[in-house]
């Protein structure tokens, strides 16, 4: 997708963070955008950026397969075509595996994993008809390496990575490019809107403390992340790493795949304890 002029791109999780930055960036690049989120109040604030014929706003729960299919139909009806989908919506959960309630893990998987599958399946038939199309699935740095208290999040993001890499191979002979994105720490509301029972150090955690900690170490802005993603779409990059933390930790994991946790987790634990003293 060498340029976005007049292309129709659907974006989930568009009310804030990376999703909102993507909507703004795509509109500025001449695209027509279908933006969805469960947070309809903040979603409607995007109306200031474009008229109805350029921006379609829809309240959609990505975990609802039927709702996602209905949204895809709405986008096709409104714009007449769809050239790309960015499966960005996601939530956070921090809890040690031994204490993790099953329903909490299912809540996260329904959004972070099945939300991606629902997005791909809903839009794929229309994308197959386009001369040039793109699927962007947002994984995470935690789709490349694992850390304590993130077993559910790690599992879902690793699953998104595996699904996306296989999907790329299945679609290799088509006009559709698949881009998998692995952001590091991004200054978004994901921690504020998450569910947190334990910190990486094993201590009890709550939303306020976890959000403050995350915000103190997140180094990349949503706008910077959106620019990287859009560049990856233009260049049809199979993998996009965002942030110096993602680049560094990915290299460590690849160099020492069997024991990176023995090196990184103690470093992260010490860093977390120091950061907690500041928040």
Question: What is the pLDDT tens value at each position of the chain, 279 positions in all?
Answer: 889 999 999 999 999 999 999 999 999 999 999 999 999 999 999 999 888 899 999 999 999 999 999 999 999 999 999 999 999 999 999 888 888 899 999 999 999 999 999 999 999 999 999 999 999 999 999 999 998 889 999 999 999 999 999 999 999 999 999 999 999 988 766 656 667 666 665 555 555 555 555 555 667 899 999 999 999 999 999 999 999 989 999 999 999 998 888 877 666 654 554 444 444
- Give CA 162 to chain center in angstroms: 15
What does the pLDDT read at residue 168? 98
- Between strands 84-87 and 176-183, the pairing is unpaired
What does the pLDDT read at residue 232? 98
Residue 163 Cα distances to 11, 160, 168, angstroms: 19, 5, 9
What does the pLDDT read at residue 278? 47
Strands (E), 114-269: 133-138, 176-183, 195-196, 239-242
What does the pLDDT read at residue 108? 97
At residue 20, the 3 state secondary structure works out as: helix
First to last CA, the chain: 43
At residue 155, the 3 state secondary structure works out as: helix
Tokens of 25: 């960036």
What does the pLDDT read at residue 186? 80
Helix axes 151-170, 114-127, angle to 10 degrees: 20
Sign of the CA dihedral with 16 first, then 17, 22, and 25 last: positive
What does the pLDDT read at residue 13? 97
Residue 136 Cα distances to 83, 152, 257, angstroms: 11, 22, 26
What does the pLDDT read at residue 214? 54
pTM to 2 decimals?
Answer: 0.90
Q: Are 76 and 128 in contact (CB under 8 A)?
A: no
* DSSP annotation of 92: -
**Phi, psi for residue 136 in degrees, rounded to 5:** -115, 120
What does the pLDDT read at residue 50? 87
- Cα(202)–Cα(141) distance, integer angstroms: 20
What does the pLDDT read at residue 213? 57
Sign of the CA dihedral with 158 first, then 39, 123, and 107 last: positive
What does the pLDDT read at residue 189? 67
What does the pLDDT read at residue 274? 43
Burial code of 229-246, b = ≥16 C-beta within 10 A, e = fewer?
bbebbeeebebbbbbebb
The yes-or-no answer on residue 153 being catalytic is yes
Which candidate in 113, 153, 163, 260 is catalytic? Answer: 153
């Amino acid at each position: 997708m060498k340029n976005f002029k007049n292309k129709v791109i659907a974006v989930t999780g568009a009310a804030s963070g990376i999703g909102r930055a993507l909507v703004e960036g795509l509109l500025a690049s001449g695209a027509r955008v279908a933006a969805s989120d469960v947070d309809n109040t903040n979603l409607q604030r995007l109306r200031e950026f474009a008229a109805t014929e350029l921006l379609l706003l829809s309240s959609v729960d990505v975990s609802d397969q039927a709702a996602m299919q209905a949204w895809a139909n709405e986008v096709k009806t409104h714009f007449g075509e769809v050239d790309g989908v960015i499966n960005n919506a996601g939530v956070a959960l921090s809890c040690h595996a031994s204490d993790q309630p099953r329903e909490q893990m299912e809540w996260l998987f329904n959004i972070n994993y099945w939300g991606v599958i629902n997005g791909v399946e809903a839009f794929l038939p229309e994308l197959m008809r386009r001369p040039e199309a793109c699927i962007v699935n947002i994984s995470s740095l935690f789709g490349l390496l694992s850390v304590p208290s993130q077993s559910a999040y790690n599992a879902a993001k690793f699953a998104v990575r595996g699904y996306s890499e296989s999907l790329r191979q299945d679609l290799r002979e088509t006009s559709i490019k698949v881009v998998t994105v692995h952001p590091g720490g991004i200054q978004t509301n994901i921690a504020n809107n998450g569910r947190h029972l334990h910190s990486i150090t094993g201590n009890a955690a709550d939303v306020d403390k976890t959000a403050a900690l995350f915000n103190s170490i997140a180094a990349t802005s949503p706008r910077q992340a959106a620019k990287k993603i859009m560049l990856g779409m233009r260049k049809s990059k199979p993998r996009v790493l965002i942030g110096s933390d993602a680049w560094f930790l990915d290299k460590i994991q690849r160099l020492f795949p069997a024991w990176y946790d023995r090196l990184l987790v103690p470093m992260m634990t010490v860093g977390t304890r120091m950061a907690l003293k500041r928040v």
